[in-house]
Amino acid sequence: MTTADTSAVPPPARTARPDRTPGLRAWAVTGMLVVFMMINFADKAVFGLAADEIRADLSLSATDFGLANSAFFLLFSVAAVVVGLLADRVSLKWLLLVLALLWSVAQVPAALGGGLAVLIGTRIVLGAAEGPAFPVAQQAALSWFPDHRRNLPGALVTLGVTLGVVTAAPGLSWVIRNHGWRSALWVVAGVGLLWAVVWYAYGADGRHRGTEGTGEQPAGLPHGRDARQTWSAYRRVLGSRTWIGTTIAYFTSYWGVALMLVWLPSYLKNGLGHSPAAAGTLVALPWALGAVVLLGQAALTDRLMRRGVGSRWARGRVGAGLLLAGAVCLLGVPLVDGTGAKTALLVA
């Protein structure tokens, strides 16, 4: 899920440049991108954590609140595609900076006041700015590493997704309980602005950007024959079974992600009877377990590939097996009795 499909194309040729070990700058940039993804998912999680407070304050029905959260995804995928194409042609440093600034600005109207219309409008803008975040952050991180060294940095950037909820859930829950849900929006907006300042000072594009281990120089804006070759390459990728299968996997798995982000805190409190404080802690457990499994998957994938196992097995089928396990757990939640059993299945 974090690297290009290598089973659908010939093995890459050796680069003509020396394959130096990634240095401190590469890992420092990767660390900043992990924090970038942490903020990204803290922004997503804050509405779910404050669901009961928002509904009570604005007199929203469950349908109204679901509509406001669904608005987040209205331009999410469209923006991901558009910005993904743009990311092949402009500096990733500046693209990520703009995305982070848009996140922070999008929080302000709802933090200042307003009702359902303001929630819907700001969530649409936030979704458009956050949709491209993961693929662009992955591209920026992997541009610092040759292909055979990309499993760990790719996993670390993905780990930022889980760490964002794990670290934000208890703190934001405390802010919401003690200072109100609008204060929590100011907190995530301020953290986003702080990251943007640090990234402006230290962020940069890596030397492997655009080469993908082929030894070719990074391409600029395509034109003429280069443009035809570029779009031909896109058609090959979009028509591959690996791309189609991965897209379907993301389509289905994001249902679970959206469910956890929007409704899990309320379900833990109102459906399973946990206290607000306990729910603020429990909501982080599925993401914490996911972080451990993610690092284990990256280690297993790396080990398999070092032993000569192809990408289809090492990357694709290991991930598919984990997705299947998650689906079985979700299907089991309504079939078991007891708060403990239901909570355990949700965490798993």
Please give the Cα distance from 17 to 156 (Å, whole number).
26
pLDDT of residue 110: 92
Please give the Cα distance from 167 to 163 (Å, whole number).
6
Question: Is 3 among the domain residues?
Answer: no
Please give the Cα distance from 43 to 90 (Å, whole number).
25
Residue that the structure tokens 């240095």 belong to: 23
Q: What share of the chain is helix, strand, coil (3-state, %, to 5)?
A: 75, 0, 25
The DSSP code for 145 is S
pLDDT > 70 in the chain, percent: 87
Residue that wins the pLDDT comparison between 200 and 16: 200
Longest CA–CA separation in the chain, Å: 64
* Total number of domains in the chain: 1
Taking only the tens place, the pLDDT of each residue in 151-198 is 778 888 888 887 887 888 888 888 998 999 999 999 999 999 999 999
pLDDT of residue 34: 93
pLDDT of residue 278: 84
pLDDT of residue 109: 94
Domain that holds residue 78: 24-209+241-347
Question: Is 70 among the domain residues?
Answer: yes
Question: Is 235 among the domain residues?
Answer: no
Residue 328 has pLDDT above 70, yes or no: yes
3-state secondary structure of 190: helix
pLDDT of residue 209: 62
pLDDT of residue 119: 92
pLDDT of residue 86: 85
What does each C-alpha distance from 75 to 72, 87, 96, 129, 192 come to in angstroms? Answer: 7, 17, 18, 9, 20
pLDDT of residue 262: 83
pTM of the model: 0.70
Question: Is 263 among the domain residues?
Answer: yes
- The 10 Å CB-count burial string (b at 16+, else e) for 279-288 is bbebbbbbbb
- The residue type of 1 is M
Taking only the tens place, the pLDDT of each residue in 185-241 is 999 999 999 999 999 999 888 776 654 444 334 444 444 556 677 778 888 888 898
Residue-averaged pLDDT of the chain = 82
Taking only the tens place, the pLDDT of each residue in 81-116 is 888 888 878 888 999 999 999 989 999 999 998 889
Question: Is 199 among the domain residues?
Answer: yes
- Cβ neighbors of 91 (< 8 A, separation 6 or more) are 205
* pLDDT level of residue 20 (50, 70, 90 thresholds): low
Question: Is 5 among the domain residues?
Answer: no
Residue 8 has pLDDT above 70, yes or no: no
Taking only the tens place, the pLDDT of each residue in 282-314 is 888 888 888 888 788 888 888 888 888 887 888
CATH number of the domain residue 50 falls in: 1.20.1250.20
pLDDT of residue 118: 92
Question: Is 97 among the domain residues?
Answer: yes
- The residue type of 37 is M
Please give the Cα distance from 127 to 268 (Å, whole number).
25
Task: Categorise residue 210: left if φ over 0, alpha if ψ from -120 to 50, beta otherwise.
Answer: left
Please give the Cα distance from 130 to 99 (Å, whole number).
7
Residue that wins the pLDDT comparison between 23 and 247: 247
The DSSP code for 239 is T
pLDDT of residue 320: 87
Taking only the tens place, the pLDDT of each residue in 258-287 is 888 888 888 888 888 888 888 878 888 888
Question: Is 14 among the domain residues?
Answer: no
pLDDT of residue 194: 96
pLDDT of residue 221: 42
